[in-house]
Structure 1
Amino acid sequence: MTHPDVLATSTARALRAPALAAGLGLAAAAVLHLRDPHDSGTYGFCPFQRLTGLPCPGCGGLRAVNDLTRGDVVGALGSNAVAVVMVAAAVVLWCVWVVRRVRGDHAAQLVAVGTRGGLAVLAGLVVFGVLRVTPWGSWLAP
């Protein structure tokens, strides 16, 4: 039988990576909350948009996170719907990661995406990027 102090120490050690990830994510969100990306050029300009005049799939992502930090989900969806989905997915995956670590799977990683999953995400981003610059998807434009 394992001593409770050993289990507590081992669990605390296992939660270091999730705690670091959460800290980095919260720090990034705090920066975006405090320095509003809605002001043009605050964080520079999108090179793709500068070259083509069209928004890339990531355009509006910083504004979406800023909107989320203020509780404006509708505004965030209007800035970049994919960014909102990605933030929600990151929170859910982080929670799963923490639960797995607490339950004893101390080697559990944040997420493991296979080739098919990666290609599906990439295809989704391409479809989103193309759709948002067409008349049918103009409501997705930032």
Structure 2
Amino acid sequence: MLVDTTSAPVNENPARPRWVGVGMPLLAGAAVAGGLALLHFRDPHAEGSYGFCPFYELTGLWCPGCGGLRGLHNLTDGRILDAVHSNILIVPLLLGFAVWWGSWLVRGWRGETIPRLPQVLPKKALWITLALLLIYTVVRNTPWGSWLAPV
């Protein structure tokens, strides 16, 4: 009997189901949706409702995230301008997160091999973002940048 050595090799790793690739992105999306639901129904405008900002308590300065919970709450109520008044970074950060999450979901659906939590930004962009956050923090804590302080 002759053995055919020209046949294609057997695929030992068959394609995984699509739901496996989207599992982590959907889990992350569900966690974010749960957090937004909590913010919608429990108003962070009431003092002490979510505790306190440790950075503000220790230094008396506004961190780049101060006003973020109030801004997210305002967005869940559909008040975009109030959200921007709470923290001007909330809308661009949310849009960036939505793009990142959507990319993660699509790549998982396509079956691409991705880490459990994909890299958000290239290193150079990450350093630029951190520098901008530092500048934003300094400016919002000066008298001429007081309009950036959370309302």
TM-score computed with the length of structure 1 as normaliser: 0.85
**Alignment length, in residue pairs?**
136
Q: Does 1:73 align with 2:96?
A: no
CA drift of 1:106 comes to 4.0
Task: For residue 121 of structure 2, give the secondary structure of its aligned residue in structure 1.
Answer: coil
Write the distance in 2 (CA, Å) between the matches of 1:92 and 1:131: 28
RMSD of aligned C-alpha atoms? 1.9
Letter in 1 for 2:128: A
Whole-Å separation in 2 of the counterparts to 1:90 and 1:32: 17
Give aligned-pair identity as a percent: 42
Structure having the higher helix fraction is: 1
Distance 2:81 2:122 in 1: 32
Q: Which runs of 5+ in 2 are unaligned?
A: 1-13
In structure 1, C-alpha distance between the alignment counterparts of 2:86 and 2:118, rounded to whole Å: 27
Whether 2:40 is the aligned partner of 1:33: answer yes
Where relative contact order (Cα < 8 A, 6+ residues apart) is larger, the structure is 2
Q: Which has the larger radius of gyration?
A: 2
Which runs of 5 or more structure 1 residues have no equivalent in the other structure?
A: 1-5
Contact 2:74 2:80 in 1 (8 A): yes
Q: What residue number does 2:145 align with?
A: 137
